[in-house]
Amino acid sequence: MNVKPSMCAASGPATQWEQIDWSQCEQKVSRLQARIVKATQEGRHGKVKALQWLLTHSFCGRALAVKRVTHNQGKNTPGVDGAIWSTPASRYKAIDTLRRRGYFPQPLRRVYIPKANGKLRPLGIPTMKDRSMQALYLLALLPVAETTADPNSYGFRPARSTADAIEQCFCALARKDSAQWVLEGDIRGCFDNISHTWMLDHIPTDKEVLRKWLTAGFMENRTLFPTEAGTPQGGIISPTLANLALDGLERLLKETFRRKEIRGQAYNPKVNFVRYADDFIITGCSKELLENEVKPLVERFMLDFWKMKSSHWSSGSCSNEACSSHLRKPASRISNRASTSWGRTCANMAASS
């Protein structure tokens, strides 16, 4: 994994970058990621850590990380240092700078982009080097995150999209005997309020590097501000960190609300869960089930497992008129209407995330 492509001594960095065998790099990294998945499934956490270390210190992993940040839409967006890697020579030289020892990330550059509702979304733009380091460690973290993820989580995951979320919503709601009530939930400021302590205790990645990213702060109007909670929107690894924080809710719901017999009668709570990033829906057989049992369980999950303040998430509540529309019956069970209605729901999830 650490053997660089053979080149003549006279070749410069620009030529060396062009001569990298990218298919071989991807093959070697994929092989390591497959081994990480297998070790995760077997519960061999020490093996997972060793393989992650091997991947993040390999030439192939570092080269792919640099390639990702220099070939995406943000390749011309600089961080606080104003640097971009626009030439093959600068990209090849950058590979050797991705080292754990002596690494200290720079503050993020705060920018604002408009949201669909007219408000502004704050983004934290890391430097090119910090983006590359995040991309590198994401290569090692993603196999674990995908192995342990909730089955019906669809936002910011490889080979998943809003269309998949729409399909799952349709499957959960299109039948005549499907659940009659839906609880829609949204976490306010999801990226901004994840506990640093929780992430450092539970995210299966290099703790020291993660701590440096989380406490790097951000620059706005030439003023440095500290970051005491949350993971910045704009970082390559941030969506995966948020997904890891929310994973486990679907399993908790499935374990709690199973089919059972009550006084000899079969009882199916019809609890289904679909999440896209920080927006989710939970179906139920009755309004009372969602209001009195499901919603309190979700609140406890946020408090106990995610260590967030309860004010950071909102859900449907019939006693709160501002949120009453979040707890409702789907309007129709007809195939086309159900697909269209929940297509809009999932599209709204994606737009608001």
What pLDDT score was predicted for residue 186? 82
Res 176 pLDDT > 80: yes
Q: How far apart are CA 197 and CA 211, in angstroms?
A: 9
What pLDDT score was predicted for residue 4? 53
Greater confidence, 160 or 193? 160
Res 316 pLDDT > 50: no
User: Quick check: helix, strand or coil at residue 187?
Assistant: strand
Yes or no: say if 248 and 305 are a contact pair by the CB < 8 Å rule: yes
Of the ranges 18-22, 278-282, 316-320, 329-333, which is most confident? 18-22
| 325 secondary structure, DSSP code | G
- The Cα angle at residue 318 between residues 312 and 319, in degrees rounded to 5: 80
Residue 116 has which token pair?
């669909």
Order of strands, edge to edge, in the sheet holding 108-114?
120-125, 108-114, 218-220, 223-225
Yes or no: say if 85 and 70 are a contact pair by the CB < 8 Å rule: yes
| 10 secondary structure, DSSP code | T
Q: How far apart are CA 23 and CA 37, in angstroms?
A: 21
| 326 secondary structure, DSSP code | G
Yes or no: say if 131 and 240 are a contact pair by the CB < 8 Å rule: no
Confidence of residue 340 (pLDDT cuts 50, 70, 90): very low
What pLDDT score was predicted for residue 301? 87
What pLDDT score was predicted for residue 320? 30
Of 186, 188, 187, 181, nearest in space to 327 by CA: 181
Greater confidence, 276 or 1? 276
Confidence of residue 319 (pLDDT cuts 50, 70, 90): very low
Residue 144 has which token pair?
């674990």
**Percentage of the chain lying above the pLDDT 90 cut:** 65
What pLDDT score was predicted for residue 67? 98
Confidence of residue 328 (pLDDT cuts 50, 70, 90): low
Q: How far apart are CA 109 and CA 98, in angstroms?
A: 20
Strand partners, 265: 262
Q: How far apart are CA 204 and CA 37, in angstroms?
A: 13
Q: Measuring CA to CA, how many Å separate 288 from each of 42, 172, 182, 225, 299? A: 40, 19, 11, 45, 16
Of 50-59, 85-94, 225-234, 276-285, the range with the lowest mean pLDDT is: 225-234
What pLDDT score was predicted for residue 188? 74
Sequence-distant (6+) residues with CB within 8 A of 216 are 105, 106, 107, 108, 130, 227
Of 184, 178, 181, nearest in space to 334 by CA: 178
Of the ranges 32-46, 177-191, 318-332, which is most confident? 32-46
Greater confidence, 102 or 5? 102
Of 227, 250, 237, 154, nearest in space to 203 by CA: 237
CA 193 to chain centre: 14
Res 314 pLDDT > 60: no
Res 318 pLDDT > 90: no
Question: Average pLDDT in the 118-141 region?
Answer: 95
Yes or no: say if 303 and 313 are a contact pair by the CB < 8 Å rule: no
Amino acid at 319: S
Q: For residue range 190-225, what is the model confidence (pLDDT) as tens digits?
A: 777 788 888 999 999 999 999 999 999 999 999 999
Q: How far apart are CA 129 and CA 83, in angstroms?
A: 9
Mean pLDDT of all residues belonging to the chain: 85
What pLDDT score was predicted for residue 312? 45
Res 227 pLDDT > 90: no
- Catalogue the E-assigned strands of 104-180: 108-114, 120-125
